[in-house]
Amino acid sequence: MKLNFSKMHGLGNDFMVIDGVRQTVALSHQQIAQLGHRQFGIGFDQLLLVEASTTPGIDFRYRIFNCDGSEVEQCGNGSRCFARFVVEQGLTDKTEIAVETAKGVIYPRLELDGNVTVNMGTPRFAPEDIPFIAPNEAMIDPLIVDGQVYDISVVSMGNPHAVQVVESVDTAPVALHGALIENHPRFPQKVNAGFMQILSRNEIRLRVFERAAGETLACGTGACAAVVAGIRRGLLDATVIVHTRGGDLTISWAGDTHPVLMTGPAVTVFAGTIEV
Ligand SMILES: N[C@H](CCC[C@H](N)C(=O)O)C(=O)O
């Protein structure tokens, strides 16, 4: 099967983006993992598959696969690249689109300054929505990791996140504890582990050890989850600049059932064709 694709990134979180509207795409999880391999394949954090939607009022379907081949519910940096891709490829002439994902509809909008703003939907906190094994919903939950107790906040942006506040993201044990949190038995479907350093009520630094992908240079849903967790803890105001290792995102949330808004870049690195 010959596949045309684009290699893209959102702040260094990189993707293989495939048009599944004008191409017939049938990839096994194993084939996706092979494509995702940094040496033996194309190499990416996630593969994004663009599909047509038959749902009235919805423009596209958005399927997301981690580099190990596992399919997941949401990808924030990927949603910005998705929007740029469908416009660049001539799949739509709209600049604001409705995209259905495994967990709800998101609304990316291409801005005149080249950035992309995405309505990422409403965050969820109930243990069953994460999923997280806990007696009840709590803003902060003590998670025992490597014999230490970490105060985490669990947030679903469609995909699961466990966020903690650290003194410094430079010295936080992201690799070691990120992997232990990702695979902690209280997260039946594993989890993305966020390490947030508060600089002010409107500015944080963030590193995320992503489920299945390890630490990435940026994580869009992780940035959303971190800001939501910080606002709920009374540490952040409604609009926050999130400094990731790959660059900056602007995240806004008015609380309660309001959606989380994320603004940032989306870059096409190259287009290619591959025989799978
Ligand atoms: N690793 C994540 C999916 C990608 C999320 C991230 N790349 C983003 O920008 O939100 C998960 O397994 O839930």
Here the CATH number for the domain that contains residue 26 is: 3.10.310.10
The question of whether 75 is a catalytic residue gets the answer yes
**Cis peptide bond N-terminal to 131, omega within 30:** yes
For residue 119, being part of any structural domain is answered with no
On whether both 133 and 95 belong to a single domain, the answer is: no
Can you give the pLDDT at residue 246? Answer: 98
For residue 248, being part of any structural domain is answered with yes
Can you give the pLDDT at residue 124? Answer: 98
- Specify the number of domains making up the chain: 2
On whether both 132 and 240 belong to a single domain, the answer is: yes
| CA 38/CA 44 separation, integer angstroms | 7
Unique residue bearing structure tokens 């010959």: 2
On whether both 247 and 269 belong to a single domain, the answer is: no
| CA 106/CA 98 separation, integer angstroms | 6
On whether both 29 and 55 belong to a single domain, the answer is: yes
Rounded to the nearest whole angstrom, what is the distance from the C-alpha of residue 18 to the centroid of ligand 1? 17
Rounded to the nearest whole angstrom, what is the distance from the C-alpha of residue 144 to the centroid of ligand 1? 24
pLDDT digits 0-9 by tens, 231-248? 999 999 999 999 999 999
Can you give the pLDDT at residue 26? Answer: 95
The question of whether 219 is a catalytic residue gets the answer yes
For residue 28, being part of any structural domain is answered with yes
For residue 233, being part of any structural domain is answered with yes
Beta strands 60-66 and 104-110, pairing class: unpaired
Give the residue, by CA position, lying nearest to ligand 1 atom 3. Answer: 75
Provide the annotated binding site for substrate: 13, 46, 66, 76-77, 159, 192, 210-211, 220-221
Token pair of 254 as six digits: 């008015």
CA separation, residue 183 to residues 186, 187, 264 (Å): 8, 7, 29
The minimum-distance atom of ligand 1 relative to the CA of 13 is 7
| CA 110/CA 118 separation, integer angstroms | 9
Token pair of 173 as six digits: 């044990």
On whether both 148 and 241 belong to a single domain, the answer is: yes
Residue 227 φ/ψ, nearest 5 degrees: -65, -45
Token pair of 153 as six digits: 């906040």
For residue 133, the enclosing domain spans 127-258
At 209 the three-state DSSP class reads strand
| CA 103/CA 234 separation, integer angstroms | 27
With a 6 Å cutoff on the Cβ, whether 221 touches ligand 1 is: yes
On whether both 57 and 172 belong to a single domain, the answer is: no
Q: Are 67 and 45 in contact (CB under 8 A)?
A: yes
Does the predicted TM-score (pTM) go above 0.80?
yes
Residues of the chain with pLDDT under 70: none
If we measure between CA atoms, which residue out of 256, 255, 253, 159 comes closest to residue 208? 159
At 221 the three-state DSSP class reads helix
At 64 the three-state DSSP class reads strand
Q: Please pick, among 67, 75, 81, 224, the residue that the annotation labels catalytic.
A: 75
Residue 241 φ/ψ, nearest 5 degrees: -85, 125
Can you give the pLDDT at residue 70? Answer: 97
ipTM over cut 0.85: yes
With a 6 Å cutoff on the Cβ, whether 79 touches ligand 1 is: no
On whether both 109 and 190 belong to a single domain, the answer is: no
Contacts of 234 (CB under 8 A, 6+ apart): none
Q: Are 145 and 184 in contact (CB under 8 A)?
A: yes
On whether both 50 and 158 belong to a single domain, the answer is: no
pLDDT digits 0-9 by tens, 39-73? 999 999 999 999 999 999 999 999 999 999 999 99
